Amino acid sequence: MAITNMPETATIDDAAAISRVLTRAFDDDPMMRWFFPDEPSRATALERYFTTLFTRQYVLHGVCERTDAAAAFWVAPEAQAKAVPDAETIRRLTEILGDRAGLFGEAVRTASAHTPQEPHWSLALIGADPAAQGLGQGSALLRSGLAKADAAGMPAYLESSKESNLPVYEHFGFAVREELRLPGGGPTLWGMWREPRPTA
């Protein structure tokens, strides 16, 4: 069966499939390897982590889309105050992260302090299964989300902890706005900004 890269709205029923895709997509991500340094248990922990974020946060307050082998979570400006973890979500993430929960909290606070204050669409997370690399899965999701931001006349913002991804985002109009090092010996994080483009 042919793999399609047509974005579709993700629902709660897609949680298991999306978590598996994102687990494979982020296996070599510097931040995820820092949060989950134990290789034998990383895949299981990542799957629980992404399931929690999706089902308790982004599917409720974000714009979540998927293809056969990729997923993206966006947050519109008007939803950003709601799209933050509640107490139960924090409890679950703390349990998943174990002794790395403190570092995770510091990283979140550091990144939040550098988030632009201007209204914007936020690309919270995007990932494609490496097995589908080159098939346009991630690009289709980027185009779909950016089209929504452009239609609203809004800029877009993302943070990347993987330097090799910067040229991909630059291709779609993002530019590095800030580079920061996460505390506790964490990886570098690049904040990237994209001005809206006129729509036809």
* Block residue for tokens 């510097």: 30
Q: CB neighbours of 113 closer than 8 A, spacing ≥ 6?
A: none
Q: CB neighbours of 94 closer than 8 A, spacing ≥ 6?
A: 101
Please indicate, yes or no, if residue 59 is contained in any of the structural domains.
yes
Count CB-CB contacts under 10 A for residue 180: 15
Give the integer Cα–Cα distance in Å for 136 and 128: 9
Task: Please give the structure tokens belonging to residue 28.
Answer: 């070599």
* Block residue for tokens 């990383």: 42
Please indicate, yes or no, if residue 199 is contained in any of the structural domains.
no
Range of the domain at 48: 8-194
pLDDT digits (tens, 9 = 90+) for 169-186: 999 999 999 999 998 889
Please indicate, yes or no, if residue 3 is contained in any of the structural domains.
no
179: alpha, beta or left, given left = phi > 0 and alpha = psi -120 to 50?
Answer: beta
Please indicate, yes or no, if residue 13 is contained in any of the structural domains.
yes
| Widest pairwise Cα distance in the chain | 50
Task: Please give the structure tokens belonging to residue 198.
Answer: 């006129």
- What's the whole-model pTM score? 0.93
| Per-residue pLDDT, 4 | 59
Helix (H, G, I), strand (E, B) or coil at 65: strand
Please indicate, yes or no, if residue 117 is contained in any of the structural domains.
yes
pLDDT digits (tens, 9 = 90+) for 103-159: 999 999 999 899 999 999 999 999 999 998 888 999 999 999 999 999 999 999 999
The answer to whether the beta carbons of residues 72 and 125 sit under 8 Å apart is: yes
**Mean pLDDT for the stretch of residues 26-45:** 96
Cα angle 59-27-141, degrees, rounded to a multiple of 5: 45
The total number of structural domains that make up the chain: 1
CATH number, domain of 87, equals 3.40.630.30
pLDDT digits (tens, 9 = 90+) for 4-13: 578 999 999 9
Please indicate, yes or no, if residue 2 is contained in any of the structural domains.
no
Give the integer Cα–Cα distance in Å for 129 and 19: 11
Give the integer Cα–Cα distance in Å for 200 and 189: 34
The answer to whether the beta carbons of residues 30 and 161 sit under 8 Å apart is: yes
pLDDT digits (tens, 9 = 90+) for 45-98: 999 999 999 999 999 999 999 999 999 999 999 998 887 888 999 999 999 999
